[in-house]
């Protein structure tokens, strides 16, 4: 039977079997033997979002085993804290990521946003950037939002402003989640839990269940978990899933050598073939198309500053 992985603890998995017509059947499954996937050394071969094949030996939950993992559309990884050369696959088969940010209380730095976007680019996942707490914005914050919106939309990202407190923009954002698998991320304190609880009240119960089960708050776990977005008005299925990844803040710059960094800035990628040197790092080299674009303002100076900061922070010794 084909199933989807909703939760992984490293030793067992929550999987659901769905035929689309009725509520899915949920099982607790184990994995037998070893899988090697995509040639990656991974500490957890099965990730949330994976499509798997399960076999049931008997009617007992303990008899459900995962026997095969279907090819992944994409996946996101994190370097294992214990071993930099080992990757921890956080989640797979993601349609888009939703980056929660705030301009006030707390302020999300542009550096944080840019690092996240680079990771998303490297995993080929489109990103929606949402600035929450719009109810707190005064003139200064509104101007900052407009500036960021112009900058990020100009390079292809979707940017929205919402307030979970007043509901501003919430319905519009909800429509962007329909029928998609969305990875939710952002610093703590930006309103992610409030957002989930507001638009999907049934989820609140679920969240509390999980907390009760683990004996700890939901956000103390680093395991990703996927949630079905509940049915909407009149019981019409809403469609779509959200993956919550409490550990995502460490979504670092996995495996990006200095030389390749500019490829993950879409606006730099678009011009770098015009640099005089094909190994141009867009710093001190002459006839650099990226620096030209910055001087002409077709690439935002703030993005170039981020690029230089991130470039400096990459430890080449890893490669």
Positions in the binding site for ligand GDP (CB under 6 A): 132-133, 135-136, 163-165, 186, 188-194
Give the nearest distance from C-beta 163 to ligand GDP in angstroms: 4
Per CB under 5 A, 288 contacts Zn ion? yes
Q: Which is nearer to ligand GDP, 192 or 303 (CB)?
A: 192
100, with CB counted inside 10 A (0-12, 13-18, 19+), is buried
Asked if 195 and 163 count as a contact pair (C-beta separation under 8 A), the reply is no
Minimum distance of ligand GDP from residue 124's CB (angstroms): 25
Checking DSSP bridges between strand 181-185 and strand 158-161, what pairing results, if any? unpaired
Quick note: the x/- pattern for Zn ion over 246-285, rule CB under 5 A, is -----------------------------x----x-x---
CA distances (Å), origin 242, targets 98, 143, 174 = 9, 31, 11
Which helix (H) or strand (E) is 226 found in, with range?
Answer: strand 225-228
Which of ligand GDP, Zn ion, none is residue 282 near (CB under 5 to 8 Å by kind)?
A: Zn ion
Q: How far is the CB of 313 from Zn ion (least distance, A)?
A: 19
Exposed / middle / buried, residue 35 (Cβ in 10 Å: 0-12, 13-18, 19+): middle
Q: How far is CA 55 from the centre of its chain?
A: 30
If the CB atoms of residues 58 and 278 are measured against Zn ion, the closer one turns out to be 278
146 binds, among Zn ion, ligand GDP, none (CB under 5 to 8 A by kind): none
Beta carbon nearer to ligand GDP, 132 or 182:
132
In whole angstroms, how close is the CB of 91 to ligand GDP at the nearest point? 18
B/e letters for 159-172, b = 16+ CB within 10 Å, e = fewer, are bbbbbbeeebbbee
CB 94 within 8 A of CB 74: yes
Residue 283 near residue 305 (C-beta atoms within 8 A): no
For residue 167, the minimal CB distance to ligand GDP (Å) is 9
Nearer residue to Zn ion within complex by CB, 7 or 282: 282
Scored b (16 or more CB within 10 A) or e, 134-152 reads beebeeebeeebeebbebb
**Tally of CB atoms within 10 A around 213:** 9
Which ranges of the chain does DSSP label H, i.e. alpha helix?
Answer: 110-122, 139-154, 170-177, 192-199, 201-214, 266-269, 289-295, 301-313
Structure tokens at 71: 């090819």
Question: Of these partners, Zn ion, ligand GDP, none, which one is at the site of residue 280 (CB under 5 to 8 Å by kind)?
Answer: Zn ion
Nearer to Zn ion, 159 or 261 (CB): 261
Q: Binding partner of residue 29 among Zn ion, ligand GDP, none, CB under 5 to 8 Å per kind?
A: none
Q: Which is nearer to ligand GDP, 110 or 245 (CB)?
A: 245
Task: Give the residue with the Cβ less far from Zn ion, 98 or 290.
Answer: 290
Stretch that binds Zn ion, among 29-37, 109-117, 235-243, 289-297 (CB under 5 A): 289-297
Question: Which three-class secondary structure state does DSSP give residue 110?
Answer: helix
Choice from 64, 290, 299, 300 touching Zn ion (CB under 5 A): 290
| Minimum CB–partner distance for residue 165 and ligand GDP (Å) | 4
When CB distances are held under 5 to 8 angstroms depending on the partner's kind, the choice from ligand GDP, Zn ion, none that residue 290 binds is Zn ion
The option from ligand GDP, Zn ion, none interacting with 18 (CB < 5 to 8 A, set by class) reads: none
Interacting residue ranges for Zn ion, rule: CB under 5 A: 275, 280, 282, 288, 290
């Amino acid at each position: 039977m084909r199933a989807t992985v909703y939760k992984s603890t490293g030793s067992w998995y929550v999987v659901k079997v769905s035929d689309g017509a009725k509520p899915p059947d949920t099982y607790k499954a184990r994995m037998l033997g070893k899988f090697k996937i995509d040639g990656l050394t991974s500490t957890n071969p099965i990730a949330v979002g994976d499509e798997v094949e399960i076999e049931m030996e008997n009617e007992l939950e303990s008899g459900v085993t995962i026997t095969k993992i279907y090819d992944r559309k994409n996946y996101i990884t994190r370097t294992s804290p214990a071993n930099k050369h080992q990757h921890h696959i956080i989640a797979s088969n993601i349609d888009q990521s939703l980056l929660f940010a705030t301009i006030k209380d707390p302020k999300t730095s542009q550096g944080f946003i840019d690092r996240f976007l680079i990771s998303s680019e490297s995993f080929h996942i489109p990103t929606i950037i949402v600035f929450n707490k719009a109810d707190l914005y005064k003139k200064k914050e509104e101007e900052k939002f407009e500036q960021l919106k112009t900058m990020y939309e100009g390079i292809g990202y979707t940017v929205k402003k919402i307030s979970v407190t007043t509901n501003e923009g919430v319905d519009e954002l909800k429509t962007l989640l329909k029928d998609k698998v969305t990875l939710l991320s952002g610093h703590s304190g930006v309103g992610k839990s409030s957002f989930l609880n507001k638009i999907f009240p049934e989820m609140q119960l679920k969240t509390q269940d999980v907390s009760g089960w683990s004996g700890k708050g939901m956000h103390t776990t680093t395991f990703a978990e996927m949630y079905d977005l509940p049915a909407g008005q009149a019981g019409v299925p809403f469609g779509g899933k959200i993956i919550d990844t409490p550990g995502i803040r460490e979504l670092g710059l996995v495996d990006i050598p200095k030389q390749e960094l500019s490829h993950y800035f879409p606006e730099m990628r678009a011009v770098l073939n015009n640099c005089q040197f094909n190994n141009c790092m867009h710093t001190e080299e002459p006839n650099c198309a990226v620096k030209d674009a910055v001087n002409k303002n077709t690439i935002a100076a703030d993005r170039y500053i981020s690029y230089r900061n991130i470039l400096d922070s990459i430890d080449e010794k890893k490669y």
